[in-house]
A and B are shown apart, each in its own frame.
Chain A
Amino acid sequence: MTSINLAALQQEGYTEVATLPEVLADRPMHYCPGCHHGIAHRLVAEALEELGQVERTICVSSIGCSVFIYNYMHLDTVEAPHGRAAAVATGVKRARPDAFVFTYQGDGDLASIGLAESMHCANRGEKLSIVFINNTVYGMTGGQMAPTTLPGQKTTTSPGGRCASTEGLPLKMAEIMAGLGGVAYSARVATTSLKRIVEAKKAIKAAFQCQIDGRGFGFVELLSACPTNWRMTPLQANERVEKELIPYFPLGVFKDDANDPACSVSGGDS
């Protein structure tokens, strides 16, 4: 993919119906065809712009396929060790309370190696936001079993399918986070259709708004396709999210203190 020559396209009679957010770098992404990381990046970029946060944002990147998020967003960024993004983000936010701080993490990163850092960050009610990409596998390392791998799902380290009695059941992070005291907002969304993408963006903005208002920790889980490691075409992978992931990982808002006056505290963080 090369940069779009808008003027040339317009001469051919095309009209512009959407623009790239300025914070998103106009550069081809390394993600596989049909990967949902790209959609998630764009939604994060649009949310940051629409909420006017770009110039005060510090992004904490994680280790997984999205480790290069900093190549795609014009944001100050620090790279966290695998699983430690929530602890790094805590340090960033405590050092710079005026900054808008978010992490972007995969399911292996957040729900396995970084479970302690993630849950304690949430439980402390750190005024930051986490965008969590659940694709039910370790994408970057070649499709091994993740804590979110579905029962029976075959991966390179669960060749016979994940066995609930020896490998446990998938962690439902959005629900787990919603049960923690410091969490102001927790939701699960998907990006399989235009309608769902609109909902996903709403959830990301709601999670970000908690931080802007100083209400507490915001969490959004995005069910995402990894066609490469699922050994599927992009369309099949999209369908798998609908038919297999959503029934196990229900979509919805599990906590929103904006609708619960008892949880809200006064005063913004800026």
Chain B
Amino acid sequence: MTASRKFLKGNEAVVYGALAAGCRCYFGYPITPQNDIPELMSSEMVKVGGQFVQAESEVGAANMLLGAAACGVRAFTSSSSPGVSLMQEAISYMAGSELPGVIVNMARGGPGLGDIGSSQGDYFQAVKGGGHGDYRCYVLAPATCQEAYDHMIEAFDVAYAWRVPVLVLGDAILGQMKEPVTTWTPDVNADAGKDWRLEGASGRPERLLKSLFLEDGALAGHNAKLQTRYRDMQPLSRLETVGVDDAELVIVAFGTIGRIARSAASQLRKQGHKVGVARPVTLFPFPVAQLQALAVPGRRFLTIEQNCGQMVEDVRLALAGKAEVAFHGHLPGNLPNPDEFIQPILDALAAKA
């Protein structure tokens, strides 16, 4: 592992993280605010001898990803919300066919064309499946450019270890902000996928990757297997906490909003308010046990999201009535600012929310 320091935008960190992880195929289609990714990939991928394709659409890009994943070659695609909606068909097929692909969503405001500013309105789509059928993606929610880099490396490892599609859910803020990033190169397990990947049936029986199961009981068995896998992935869940030990109020927020909530909380700490922040780093699996452990008697929770209330449902499910969970939604379309979180936090502290 060699490390060095670079000043990178979130979108650029995604590119360099993927290349460090041994990604050798990228398929994409232009959409703001993630255009830096295909633009940078068009030259960087060629430098490492990989393949770059500007697809005809996000439908095309996601299906190219499916094809490359079927070959056991590390590949990814990126887009922003409207484009990620178009990818859901392929993601469902990848989940059903147990194919490891990585999809980055630098989310923007919706519904419909929305805007090109940041939003967390794709939480449900990301963590509840998004396409048809009972499946989940492993979902990472980076909050910093460093995490954008590190999460790409983790995304490929998890995708190949578990044979699941992995979503990295960022937003317009993460894609566009610039920070110092320590770049590093992991050891990549080249053997991952060697017992299922397609390469031509030379000297062995043919292999088949599919999601159609018509034989009696076969689909039920397949679904049971997938559900077991998702349950077995639960220990991968992560929650980052700051200042929660003595907190009267714990703010639960993910991604860049988690970071902004942290600034607001530290401002309030200085004024003597006992506020902590819990940031789910994995959105699926959701850090249920870690959140439950925080639900000590008398402590209140406030979920802050840049949407109209999505993750809050999972926070309430996780806490299962053990604590009250208030919600503050910062509407997509407005750029969030720590000052705007102060009053909702004070209200929640005062149990007025």
> Is the beta-carbon distance between A87 and B64 smaller than 8 angstroms?
yes
Q: In the complex, A118 Cα to B24 Cα: how many Å?
A: 23
In the assembled complex, how far is the CB of residue A77 from the closest CB belonging to chain B, in whole angstroms?
5
Q: Does B217 sit at the interface, judged by CB under 8 A?
A: no
- Residue ID in chain A nearest B205 by CB atoms: A74
> Is the beta-carbon distance between A81 and B73 smaller than 8 angstroms?
no
In the assembled complex, how far is the CB of residue A161 from the closest CB belonging to chain B, in whole angstroms?
32
Q: Does A57 sit at the interface, judged by CB under 8 A?
A: yes
In the assembled complex, how far is the CB of residue A53 from the closest CB belonging to chain B, in whole angstroms?
9
> Is the beta-carbon distance between B210 and A95 smaller than 8 angstroms?
no
> Is the beta-carbon distance between A78 and B97 smaller than 8 angstroms?
yes
Q: Does A56 sit at the interface, judged by CB under 8 A?
A: yes
Q: Does B199 sit at the interface, judged by CB under 8 A?
A: yes
Q: Does A192 sit at the interface, judged by CB under 8 A?
A: no
Known A74-B206, A89-B67, A95-B75: A79·B198 in contact at CB below 8 Å = no
In the assembled complex, how far is the CB of residue B14 from the closest CB belonging to chain A, in whole angstroms?
19
> Is the beta-carbon distance between A56 and B63 smaller than 8 angstroms?
no
Q: In the complex, A88 Cα to B210 Cα: how many Å?
A: 12
Residues on B with beta carbons closer than 8 Å to the beta carbon of A87: 55-56, 59-61, 63-64, 66-67
In the assembled complex, how far is the CB of residue A91 from the closest CB belonging to chain B, in whole angstroms?
3
Q: Does A239 sit at the interface, judged by CB under 8 A?
A: no
- Residue ID in chain A nearest B50 by CB atoms: A94
Residues on A with beta carbons closer than 8 Å to the beta carbon of B181: none
Residues on A with beta carbons closer than 8 Å to the beta carbon of B53: 90, 94, 124
Q: Does A116 sit at the interface, judged by CB under 8 A?
A: yes
> Is the beta-carbon distance between A120 and B56 smaller than 8 angstroms?
yes
Q: In the complex, A153 Cα to B69 Cα: how many Å?
A: 41
Residues on B with beta carbons closer than 8 Å to the beta carbon of A75: 201, 206
Write the A47-85 contact mask toward B (1 if CB under 8 angstroms, else 0). 000000011111011000001001001111111110010
> Is the beta-carbon distance between B200 and A88 smaller than 8 angstroms?
no
Q: Does A100 sit at the interface, judged by CB under 8 A?
A: yes
Q: Does A137 sit at the interface, judged by CB under 8 A?
A: no
> Is the beta-carbon distance between B200 and A94 smaller than 8 angstroms?
no
Residues on B with beta carbons closer than 8 Å to the beta carbon of A117: 56, 59-60, 63
> Is the beta-carbon distance between A116 and B60 smaller than 8 angstroms?
yes
Q: In the complex, A57 Cα to B206 Cα: how many Å?
A: 10
Residues on B with beta carbons closer than 8 Å to the beta carbon of A99: 71, 198-200
Q: Does A223 sit at the interface, judged by CB under 8 A?
A: no
- Residue ID in chain A nearest B210 by CB atoms: A79
Residues on B with beta carbons closer than 8 Å to the beta carbon of A60: 67
> Is the beta-carbon distance between A91 and B63 smaller than 8 angstroms?
yes
Q: Does A27 sit at the interface, judged by CB under 8 A?
A: no
Known A90-B64, A92-B71: A116·B56 in contact at CB below 8 Å = yes
> Is the beta-carbon distance between A76 and B199 smaller than 8 angstroms?
yes
> Is the beta-carbon distance between B67 and A76 smaller than 8 angstroms?
no
Q: In the complex, A89 Cα to B67 Cα: how many Å?
A: 6
Residues on A with beta carbons closer than 8 Å to the beta carbon of B60: 84, 87, 90, 116-117, 120
Residues on A with beta carbons closer than 8 Å to the beta carbon of B64: 87-88, 90-91, 94
> Is the beta-carbon distance between A91 and B25 smaller than 8 angstroms?
yes
Q: Does B6 sit at the interface, judged by CB under 8 A?
A: no
Q: Does B325 sit at the interface, judged by CB under 8 A?
A: no
In the assembled complex, how far is the CB of residue A59 from the closest CB belonging to chain B, in whole angstroms?
9
Cβ-neighbour of A80 out of B66, B75, B206 (below 8 A) = B66
Q: In the complex, A95 Cα to B208 Cα: how many Å?
A: 17
Q: Does B68 sit at the interface, judged by CB under 8 A?
A: yes
Residues on A with beta carbons closer than 8 Å to the beta carbon of B69: 91
Residues on B with beta carbons closer than 8 Å to the beta carbon of A90: 53, 60, 64, 67
- Residue ID in chain B nearest A91 by CB atoms: B67
Q: Does B212 sit at the interface, judged by CB under 8 A?
A: yes
In the assembled complex, how far is the CB of residue B26 from the closest CB belonging to chain A, in whole angstroms?
10
Residues on B with beta carbons closer than 8 Å to the beta carbon of A120: 55-56, 60
Q: Does B125 sit at the interface, judged by CB under 8 A?
A: no
Q: Does A96 sit at the interface, judged by CB under 8 A?
A: yes
> Is the beta-carbon distance between B73 and A95 smaller than 8 angstroms?
yes
B positions within 8 Å CB-CB of A: 24-25, 27, 51, 53, 55-57, 59-61, 63-71, 73, 75, 89-90, 93, 97, 198-203, 205-212
What are the 4 tightest A-B residue pairs by CB atom distance, in nearest-first order? A91-B67, A87-B63, A91-B64, A120-B56
User: Can you list 20 contacts pairing A with B, beta carbon distance less than 8 Å?
Assistant: A56-B200, A74-B201, A77-B206, A77-B208, A84-B60, A87-B56, A87-B61, A87-B66, A91-B64, A91-B66, A91-B68, A91-B69, A92-B67, A94-B25, A95-B73, A96-B73, A99-B200, A100-B200, A116-B59, A120-B60
